[in-house]
Amino acid sequence: MKKPEIAIVGGGPAGLSAALSAVRQGAQVMLIDRDPVLGGQLVKQTHMFFGSKKQYAAIRGIDIPQKLLAALQEEGNGKFDPRVNTTVLGCYDDGVLLLEKEDRAELIQPRKIIIATGAAEKMLPFPGNDLPGVYGAGAVQTLMNVYGIKPGTRVLMIGAGNIGLIVSYQLLQAGVEVTAIIEGAPKIGGYLVHATKVRRAGIPILTSHTIKKAYGCDSVEGAVLCNLDEKWCAVPGTEQSLAVDVICLAVGLTPQTELLWQAGCEQQYLPELGGYVPLRSEKMQTSLSHLFVAGDAACIEEAGSAMVEGKIAGLFAAADLGYAENVEALNETFSRELEELRSGPAGAKIRQGLSRLKGGAQVC
């Protein structure tokens, strides 16, 4: 059985940053991802990112993984072992991981594990939501931005959070018509600069609206919408029908925490952070001392914060193995970065969620 010093599950921005941070400290890292390319969500994000320079602001999401990978190749010094097309199926309480690659299983026993598995999409219940043509926003992005295939010709977007707004914009760039973006809440949840961008391209954003049903024979042919009142109840008589062949769901994400449940980490339900999230200290260490978390798996946030959390998790996982140079100074820098990212109104929900986390991960 292989015994890497640190195994990181998930090669998105959190996992890649954790790897870089740990190899910089001198630790040896195996980075495991089920996808054929590293980068996680970033490989589908064609737009420029917000944040500050430290988190690659104004650089397109798709271009960020190469930057992190180049640094890893350069500084990895043979200590960086990436494994793609490899799924982690099991995370046992004794610290053993079960990997699967092309139908072959392998057990490894890392000394430290960082879970950076990202998020899963939420579903919305409505009649007809099982029809072909009702797709998650992630699926639409995968088709369109990874394989270059249009998901359909006319799309109804459900959800005006950042994902709904950005995927709508990306659909326009791919030459697909977006008939409307609907949102149950009375306000747009995503960044308003994204909203103005799609709005001036002619896509109506209908707040206080929901989908009543999808219809179609073998696949989606249309949707019936209706208005919602302040109590989120459908307003009778407001139904309208839209002919579309794709209904794209962008109704939120929830941390992908299955491996953490398997291992027996303590978790807490915090809707502000996306659902069940693992308890962790300010070192991103869970209730099990060999297990760390970072990124959307710990709390649904942004790539910027995912990268910083990754750096912190990588730093302390390495420190626990004795690679303890400069830990305090580095941690201070990283913590300040996180604090900055979360300090504004956009971070209010995250701050509230973190403050309710049992055992108190430090709220920056």
Ligand X SMILES: Cc1cc2nc3c(=O)[nH]c(=O)nc-3n(C[C@H](O)[C@H](O)[C@H](O)COP(=O)(O)OP(=O)(O)OC[C@H]3O[C@@H](n4cnc5c(N)ncnc54)[C@H](O)[C@@H]3O)c2cc1C
Name residue, tokens 């986390």.
357
DSSP, collapsed to helix, strand or coil, labels residue 26 as coil
193 binds other proteins (CB under 8 A): yes
For CA atoms 323, 52, 174, 139, the dihedral sign is positive
Q: Which residues, other chains included, contact 92 with Cβ-Cβ below 8 Å and sequence gap of 6+?
A: 98, 262, 263
104 binds other proteins (CB under 8 A): no
Rounded to a whole number of angstroms, the minimum distance from the CB of residue 342 to other proteins is 8
Burial class (CB in 10 A: 0-12, 13-18, 19+), 192: exposed
- Tell me the sheet residues that pair with 291: 113
The Cα–Cα gap between 133 and 251 comes to: 16
Region binding other proteins by CB under 8 A among candidate stretches 30-38, 104-112, 227-235, 263-271: 30-38
* Partner touching 362 among ligand X, other proteins, none, CB below 5 to 8 Å by kind: none
98 binds other proteins (CB under 8 A): no
DSSP, collapsed to helix, strand or coil, labels residue 255 as strand
For CA atoms 190, 196, 201, 203, the dihedral sign is positive
Distance of CA 195 to the CA centre of its chain: 20
312 binds ligand X (CB under 6 A): no
How many chain residues bind ligand X (CB under 6 A)? 39
Q: Which of 150, 154, 213, 356 binds other proteins (CB under 8 A)?
A: 150
Q: Which of 73, 77, 173, 240 binds other proteins (CB under 8 A)?
A: 173
* Partner touching 263 among ligand X, other proteins, none, CB below 5 to 8 Å by kind: none
The Cα–Cα gap between 329 and 325 comes to: 9
Q: Which residues of 71-96 are buried (b: 16+ CB within 10 A; e: fewer)?
A: bbeeebeebbebbeebebeebeeebe
The Cα–Cα gap between 125 and 132 comes to: 15
Q: Which of 5, 6, 7, 12 binds ligand X (CB under 6 A)?
A: 12
Provide the mask over 47-76, with x wherever binding to ligand X is found by CB under 6 A and - wherever it is not. Answer: x-xxx-------------------------
DSSP, collapsed to helix, strand or coil, labels residue 312 as helix
Region binding other proteins by CB under 8 A among candidate stretches 33-41, 90-98, 229-237, 275-283: 33-41
How many chain residues bind other proteins (CB under 8 A)? 72
Q: Which is nearer to ligand X, 64 or 318 (CB)?
A: 64
* Partner touching 201 among ligand X, other proteins, none, CB below 5 to 8 Å by kind: other proteins
* Partner touching 147 among ligand X, other proteins, none, CB below 5 to 8 Å by kind: other proteins
Instruction: Restricting to residues 126-145, name those near other proteins by CB under 8 A.
Output: 130-136, 138-139, 142-145
Q: What is the binding site for ligand X (CB under 6 A)?
A: 9-15, 32-35, 40-42, 45, 47, 49-51, 87-88, 116-119, 141, 162-163, 166-167, 256, 295-297, 301-304, 306
